[in-house]
Structure 1
Amino acid sequence: MFPDVPPDRHLRLAHASALLGVTPYLLEYHPADAIIAIAFTSTGALAGIASVDLPGPDADLVAMATRAKQSLENEPSADHVALIGYGTKAHVKPLMDVMRFLLDHSSRLHLVEALRFHDNTYWSYLCSDACCPPDGISFDPTCSPVAAQATILGMTTLPDAAAHVAQFAPVTGTPREQMREATRRVRDQARHMMTRGHDWRAELLDRVASCSQAVDLGQKLDDEQVAWLEMLTSSTLLRDLAATLAEPGEDDRVHLRMWSEVLRRVDPADAVAPALLTAIYALRSGNGPVAQIALNRALDTDPGNRTALQMRQVAKTGVTPAQIRSSQITPTALTEQAKRCPEDTWPVLPQESR
């Protein structure tokens, strides 16, 4: 996927060790058992990053490598690419060889580096023994100068992919019970509002504006704010409208943080809409790994959800943020639909228990 990197974050990568040092900060976790492909522009700016899990013994290596290559080539500004395989030689080399071959023989991208990293040691597939001895070169990415620079710039990383996924796990215990009570109160209010008519589209616009502003200021949403956002987006039309309300760039990332918080705090049974919105804003921000995590949450709740299944296929193609934005229905069209069919904006509420 291709991230909209904040313009004030500049890291100089003058050596293979610098590339190893910064990669966990680009992914937001320390990778393992994967090949990470990083694309750059001709000026050295980051153009995209893709992660490919190391294959099992019966995997189609050509298909896996082709998908990764296509995802990198989807970004028109990408000119160069570096590969880093995380794992043992036996696990990394088969897929690495196929990816290198495809990049060398059927890609407009120029391969500038191919590394393997394991047990704080790295090897380069593109240099001779003179620059890369058989035993490899020792390197601790957590102590590298570029890691320190990334930390100063406010970039963070987690120990592994599991910790990254855990950030999006549903809350439990007392927070879950408090959230259930808030959800019940908000739904009771909504039922009364439906009996006398209500402009649900305007309600969504107001709620999203106030909540995104709070998130942008670093504030935590209260339980009722979260419950309102979940309840309003139970309408498919309002969910689709909510997916268009951010401006490209930093605003996308604010909305990603907002919907991620909603996803984490709502009851898992109500997770589909917040998960889809998290995935959309992750794709709009170029964060493919988060999009996949969110789509998995949606499918955990509703395994046959067509929107989530379709989005997962789209995410695998490596679409760019600009392509995601251009494929969305415009807010104007959604607003016109809401005016024609106001009943389509009504929240979908569960029946009251007797």
Structure 2
Amino acid sequence: MSEKDQIRVKDRNDLIAAVPYLLGFPPEDSLVCVVVDDDRIRFLARLDLSVAAEGPELPEATSHLAELLARYGQQAIILGYGTPDRVGPVAELLRAALLAANVELFDAIRVTDDRYYCLNCDGECPPEGIAYNPSTSTLPAEATYEGIAPMPSRTALEDLIAPITGPRREAMRTASLAAFQRLHTMLFNSAATRADVTDGESSGSPAHVLQNGVEAVQQAIGVAARGELLSDDAAAWLTAVLTIPEVRDHAWRAIDGSEPHRRLWIDVTRRAILEATAAPACLLAIAAYLGGDGALANIAVYRSLQADPGYSLARLLHGSLIAGVAPQVWRDATIGTTD
């Protein structure tokens, strides 16, 4: 999140209170590593212990994470969320990786519902742990004032972009079939080279088709700015024209990370038929990324790649999220490279 370099923590209680706001959800079965500098949080990353425990490449994953953290500072804190047998071994691997990357491990704790336990064995924590109370920290109030609020869980964040169901789903499928037929007819009847829009990676579309697509994007942004939702027909047409890379690229370059853009692409992602989900989900990931919501960005880009594992823009963004590239750096670097 973009505000984390402004957050100052005074103690462990502050840090524990801050993590759900920085991640976007309360971590579970996770290892969170925070880079600090002069008591300010500069960067944080989360390692999913359920994935880490199953993967044979855990040493490489912790080494990569340590190298990433080293780009942001020379002091780090580990917070483990889970049972001792899940947290301990991975924390030890990360500790060694941080040392190899010349990053000092400033502190390491395991956090439960109401207590934390020291992992650095310095004798400071009793065996029964130390009670903490996030409500005594001012950080949640400061984050709320800035408009930052965590979801109850990662699952709740995933539910935020879950596909619509029932009659609404059927209505959108009907509208989408009509929209794709309309686009197909426009392309077929054009004297220009026909574009293949079925794989989401076509190019060379006729000028009048591109103009229609750009207009659909601009109209959608205008509707979102007024706090309104697109009609089924408008949403379906938008998902259809977004299968044209030039239109999609116009859409992502228009994204500014604002709340209206975030709402727009959440709505369109939820309403898109499976075959047309990759583009709006990727655009949502970009909106979240530019808005400082890394948790939503990761979930949205995963949704895009689920719909189309080869989707080039989503793959590019996914790599940048893993590497911890700053949003504006990514945006500047990818202009003209996503076709």
Does TM, normalized by the shorter one, top 0.5? yes
CA RMSD, 1 decimal = 3.3
Q: Which residue of 2 aligns with 1:207?
A: 216
Letter in 2 for 1:292: N
In the alignment, structure 1 residue 32 sits paired with structure 2 residue 28: yes
Q: Deviations over 1:74-131 (max 9, x none)?
A: 45xx454322110111111111122223323423x444332210232112335743x4
Distance in 1 of aligned mates of 2:42 and 2:156: 25
Letter in 2 for 1:125: L
Contact 1:42/1:79 (<8 A) preserved: no
User: Residues 187 and 49 of structure 1: is their aligned pair in 2 closer, same or farther, counting only changes over 3 Å?
Assistant: same
Q: Secondary structure at the match of 1:243?
A: helix
Deviation at 1:144, TM superposition (A): 5.0
Contact 1:283/1:291 (<8 A) preserved: yes
In the alignment, structure 1 residue 151 sits paired with structure 2 residue 151: no
1:34-73 correspondence runs (5 A): 34-42=30-38, 44=40, 46-54=41-49, 55-56=52-53, 59-73=56-70
Contact 2:282/2:304 (<8 A) preserved: yes
Match of 2:98 among 100, 103, 106: 103
Letter in 1 for 2:60: A
Deviation at 1:176, TM superposition (A): 1.2
Q: Which residue of 2 aligns with 1:242?
A: 251
Q: Which residue of 1 aligns with 2:295?
A: 289
User: Residues 121 and 182 of structure 1: is their aligned pair in 2 closer, same or farther, counting only changes over 3 Å?
Assistant: same
Q: Which residue of 1 aligns with 2:82?
A: 87
With normalisation by structure 1, the TM-score equals 0.76
Q: Which residue of 1 aligns with 2:261?
A: 255
Distance in 1 of aligned mates of 2:31 and 2:330: 25
Distance in 2 of aligned mates of 1:62 and 1:91: 15
Q: Which residue of 2 aligns with 1:302?
A: 308
Contact 2:24/2:294 (<8 A) preserved: no
Moved more, 60-69 or 300-309: 300-309
In the alignment, structure 1 residue 171 sits paired with structure 2 residue 167: no
User: Residues 24 and 193 of structure 1: is their aligned pair in 2 closer, same or farther, counting only changes over 3 Å?
Assistant: same
Deviation at 1:19, TM superposition (A): 0.9
Q: Which residue of 2 aligns with 1:323?
A: 329
Moved more, 255-264 or 286-295: 286-295
Distance in 1 of aligned mates of 2:182 and 2:54: 56
Q: Structure 1, unaligned stretches of length 5 or more?
A: 338-354
Letter in 2 for 1:83: I
Deviation at 1:272, TM superposition (A): 1.5
With normalisation by structure 2, the TM-score equals 0.79
Letter in 1 for 2:321: A
User: Residues 311 and 198 of structure 1: is their aligned pair in 2 closer, same or farther, counting only changes over 3 Å?
Assistant: closer
Deviation at 1:56, TM superposition (A): 1.4
Letter in 1 for 2:128: D
Deviation at 1:170, TM superposition (A): 0.7
Deviation at 1:69, TM superposition (A): 1.9
Contact 1:186/1:227 (<8 A) preserved: yes
Contact 2:255/2:286 (<8 A) preserved: no
Letter in 2 for 1:65: T
Match of 1:22 among 6, 11, 18: 18
User: Residues 40 and 285 of structure 1: is their aligned pair in 2 closer, same or farther, counting only changes over 3 Å?
Assistant: farther
Q: Which residue of 2 aligns with 1:228?
A: 237
For these two proteins, the number of residue pairs brought into alignment is 321
The one of the two structures with greater contact order (alpha-carbon pairs below 8 A, sep at least 6) is 1
Letter in 2 for 1:89: P
Distance in 1 of aligned mates of 2:182 and 2:55: 55
Contact 1:34/1:86 (<8 A) preserved: yes
User: Residues 154 and 212 of structure 1: is their aligned pair in 2 closer, same or farther, counting only changes over 3 Å?
Assistant: same
Letter in 2 for 1:32: E
Distance in 1 of aligned mates of 2:226 and 2:95: 44
Distance in 2 of aligned mates of 1:64 and 1:272: 27
Deviation at 1:40, TM superposition (A): 3.8
Distance in 2 of aligned mates of 1:82 and 1:307: 33
Letter in 2 for 1:324: W
Distance in 2 of aligned mates of 1:79 and 1:257: 37
Q: Secondary structure at the match of 2:253?
A: coil
Q: Which residue of 1 aligns with 2:197?
A: none
Letter in 2 for 1:135: E
User: Residues 222 and 137 of structure 1: is their aligned pair in 2 closer, same or farther, counting only changes over 3 Å?
Assistant: farther
1:113-124 correspondence runs (5 A): 113-124=107-118
User: Residues 306 and 198 of structure 1: is their aligned pair in 2 closer, same or farther, counting only changes over 3 Å?
Assistant: closer
Q: Which residue of 2 aligns with 1:132?
A: 125
Distance in 2 of aligned mates of 1:57 and 1:225: 44
Distance in 1 of aligned mates of 2:226 and 2:14: 32
In the alignment, structure 1 residue 277 sits paired with structure 2 residue 283: yes
Contact 1:284/1:324 (<8 A) preserved: no
Deviation at 1:216, TM superposition (A): 4.4
Distance in 2 of aligned mates of 1:261 and 1:142: 33
Deviation at 1:227, TM superposition (A): 2.0
